[in-house]
Amino acid sequence: MNLEAWLQPLIWLAGVGQIALALASLAIPRQLGWRLKLAGMSPLLRQMFWVYAAYILGTNLAFGLVSALAPASLLDGSPLAAAVCTFIAIYWLSRVVVQWTYFDLTELPRSRFNTFARVSLELAFVALTVVYAAAAYTNGCAPRADFHADRR
């Protein structure tokens, strides 16, 4: 079985996962007490924070919907498919780098559940990076006789 045959179901699964991640992230503000913690910020900074959170939620949901509803379109060999997959791969790679080099997680309570959740999320972010990087590679670099034959 070639890479493309594996990638379509993986992209679909990544889409479902990103939709689940977006839905689960709706609980984050309450779980981390954002309303109370943000109350001391200036109105502009508080509003910007919520806008950024909404952009991240919307982006994760959009990536999930595109991937779950049109996985074949993300593998059709077109420049747009290559660009979208590259963008999604860079997005998730950036999230991994931020997670591992910048986030200070010391205020999270130490528990087995929180450790499991953190590790699970990190593995998911890495998996998303790998899936979309492989799709980007398939769209832009891998030889595709079927795609290039159609263009002659």
Q: What is the pLDDT of residues 18-49, one digit of tens each?
A: 999 999 999 888 888 888 989 989 999 999 99
Does residue 147 contact residue 76 with C-beta atoms inside 8 Å?
Answer: yes
- What CA–CA distance (Å, rounded) separates 129 from 95? 9
How confident is the model over 111-135, as pLDDT tens digits?
888 889 889 999 999 999 999 999 9
| pTM: predicted TM-score of the whole model, two decimal places | 0.84
User: How far, CA to CA in Å, does 36 sit from each of 24, 40, 90, 141?
Assistant: 20, 8, 33, 49
